[in-house]
Structure 1
């Protein structure tokens, strides 16, 4: 698999620098796409030729992506993806029955009878209800959507866990917000913003989560009439170049797609001339410009279930063990605080 996209995704007529467009496009593909770790990217020269922009611009974009932790530069070899794609295991009762069968087999091998096993499970369930929860902070770009993301994360948390939200803007401006993150057991954010967050609160235990388009978004895109004139509007200039491929990914039958920035002078004209309007998260204010009867919906993302199951849950489990067993010492992860600090917090 290789990184490939239509050069027309970079629109030189837009009031957004081409380098900024390319960075946004590539950062999205590298953090939200399905490129396996170690995938070789086009060379700077090849990318510049394909897109039709200066090599110096592409070189700077690659350096910025490297600094953001989204790719690695190998001397004499080029640029490669450095993020692993999580694999989601089967969900539902069928998978749970398999897990129970494995547990029963393991208990039998250890000589534990079934009644004792049931008692152990009940005791663990009771402990889960009564033990002190973790303090978790989710750092969002926009507060409203951030609350929705937290609701989607909450099912994998313990009932006693406490999770709160703060935005990047508030974090930069407010010392108390930064302190709340530093005092948290873990801070969650978007995968492609993990490096940015680390620069703001370097002492925190941070985990970047991969997000994918939601099922409702996929269904809405697939249902668009192929003859429709579609407007795809973003709030953030950095991601203006990703709007067209994001729509085409689930609506390949749609040909007429015009992208725009929500604060551009011509955004009202773009929307007025369209049969369907799609807006990126945070750009909901443009809905007032949409004519009555014209389909209009948000291009919404959701936390990748595979990441929640295979990365977040194991990380939380280790944190709980560290809190409940002082002999384990400091929590794992960069910027950890000692168990004694957490014990002190729990007494307060």
Structure 2
């Protein structure tokens, strides 16, 4: 590391800028160690106290972390993520900016002063898309995510809207995150250019559904009916979680050969969205529960908020 002693930029800022650049370029990745204070001070021919202050500043900015007895290491941050992805066109934009400043006779210190004086334009809100099957239900999932994150997620209903693969790919192309069910992940992975942008959420019964399940007679004969076979495990898991006291739980997909006989004997019928026809075959006096569900709030805090750089309230951090 070389320090320009003739520069108007203080040596401390030069050291910080050099380390930040290495993190942002990927030369220093998450988990990589930084030189010790003494080693870097010797390389840069600086007082150890100057390097100590640089490291303290990087730590306060969340770029590095100190591990007792081990040293200082690069931590997860927006800059480290930039380095991991190559930075897109950012480096080329910076090079053009420096060249443009030089063409006007401006030095680096002048350019830094101009950049620091600019009011940053507000960053556009992240674009989040919720993908489900039914329009009304998917809009409600998106609204739930929006209420918890402060964003305004869009919604796509694969069954009701029936977009073809090209249309689906177009609508998801600019999304920062695509939220969906685990059973829809593979289909979306086939049309989204970067499958890492797909986040599968767990879904839990809505409050009214949880209350109804919790109030059931433990001896009731319960039949859970899903319109789609790949959703049946999700439905079954939710029912067993919130009606764990009910001994007899029989999951079936709509159209199963033995479903009419099961419904004729069932005391309780739990129906997923789209499987309402099961009520017509149930015996008189049976209890019907429409399984309405919502994205698990814990997954929104754990999987969605960090990916979008959103804060998680301390109360929910402690609860999780």
> Normalised by the size of structure 1, how large is the TM-score?
0.46
> Normalised by the size of structure 2, how large is the TM-score?
0.50
